[in-house]
């Protein structure tokens, strides 16, 4: 096996499949392929894939169903490839378990950069014991909206009962482990780290996309919609109250920020 591990290409178009195989092999993966969904699921299972590219329009079962089946046994990084640009398609792919998506046609360099960015940001490690909760805040007479998240050490950021350790890539809410995807973790980390500063949608696209998206890189509406989907999924996992958010606050027409701190201790 190569240093980077195994990549599986699930694609029925021969020209596209050959291109994907070449890009991933040049990147350093051991590459296997499948031309339909049923075979793709089995190749992923038996080869223990680390990275998967998955075409939505397969001849037997659609890519979303393949994605659901793979997610029952694998936490491999999955990039969905699609010719569709509608918001519903992007939302379906990300909510079903995709880590990223690319719209065809795409540049091979972009696929390689996206995969490299994912591999540099490993998934969360399982929490073996609860992260310690913050101590109750001391009596304070100022306005409730002033304090924001601040690290108590170099690794842990805390805010309203939430504790994020960026070194172990773990998150706990009220002491209980919270399972997040790579993108959800990175977005939450960025907003906690910002301590209340507004992050535009373009800023957050760059957080998710990694080094490939520099300051002068064009940010598409699809990129911004993908960030909104990730944040929507994150809000559901946090069980945010949209009327009184504890962690993620929308700044209309601009982006997002960390919600103000609450004085009460979340037990």
pLDDT per residue over 55-84, tens digit each?
988 999 988 999 999 999 998 999 998 877
Enter the CATH code of domain 6-120.
Answer: 3.40.50.2300
pLDDT above 60 for 214: no
DSSP, residue by residue, the chain: --SS-EEEEE-S-HHHHHHHHHHHHHHT-EEEEESSHHHHHHHHHHHT-SEEEEES--SSS-HHHHHHHHHTT---EEEEEES---HHHHHHHHHHT-SEEEESS--HHHHHHHHHHHHHSPPPPPPSSPPPPPPPPPP--S-TTS---EESSSSEEEETTEEEETTTTEEEETTEE----HHHHHHHHHHHHHTT--EEHHHHHHHHHGGGS-TTS---HHHHHHHHHHHHHHHHHHT--TTS-SSEEEETTTEEEEPPPPSS---
User: Boundaries of CATH 3.40.50.2300 in the chain?
Assistant: 6-120
What is the per-residue pLDDT across 105-133, written as a single tens digit (0 to 9) for each?
A: 888 888 888 888 777 766 654 443 344 44
- pLDDT winner (highest mean) among 35-44, 119-128, 239-248: 35-44
How much is the pLDDT for 121? 66
34 — pLDDT class (breaks 50, 70, 90): very high
Q: What is the mean pLDDT of the chain?
A: 78
User: Boundaries of CATH 1.10.10.10 in the chain?
Assistant: 150-258
CATH of 150-258, one of 3.30.70.940, 3.40.50.300, 1.10.10.10, 1.10.3720.10: 1.10.10.10
pTM tops 0.75, yes or no: no
Tell me the percentage of the chain whose pLDDT exceeds 90. Answer: 22
Report the pLDDT averaged over residues 242-254: 80
């Amino acid at each position: 096996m190569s240093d980077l591990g195994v990549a599986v290409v699930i694609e029925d178009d021969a020209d596209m499949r050959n291109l994907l195989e070449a890009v991933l092999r040049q990147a350093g993966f051991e590459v296997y392929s499948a031309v339909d969904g049923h075979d793709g699921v089995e190749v992923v299972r038996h080869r223990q894939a680390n990275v998967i590219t998955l075409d939505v329009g397969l001849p037997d079962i659609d890519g979303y169903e393949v994605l659901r089946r793979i997610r029952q046994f694998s936490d491999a990084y999955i990039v969905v490839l699609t010719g569709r640009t509608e918001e519903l398609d992007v939302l379906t792919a990300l909510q079903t378990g995709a880590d990223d998506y690319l719209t065809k046609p795409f540049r091979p360099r972009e696929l390689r950069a996206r995969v490299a960015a994912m591999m540099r940001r490993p998934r969360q490690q399982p929490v073996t014991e609860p992260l310690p909760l913050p101590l109750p805040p001391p009596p304070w007479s100022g306005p409730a909206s002033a304090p924001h998240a601040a690290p108590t050490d170099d690794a842990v950021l805390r805010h309203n009962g939430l504790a994020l350790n960026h070194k172990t890539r773990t998150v706990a809410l009220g002491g209980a482990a919270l399972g997040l995807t790579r993108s959800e973790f990175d977005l939450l980390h960025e907003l906690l780290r910002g301590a209340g500063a507004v992050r535009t949608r373009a800023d957050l696209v760059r957080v998710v996309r990694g080094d490939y998206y520099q300051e002068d890189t064009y940010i598409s509406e699809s990129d911004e919609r993908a960030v909104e989907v990730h944040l929507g999924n994150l809000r559901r996992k946090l069980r945010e109250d949209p009327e009184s958010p504890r962690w993620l606050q929308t700044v209309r027409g601009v982006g997002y920020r960390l919600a103000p701190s609450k004085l009460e201790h979340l037990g």
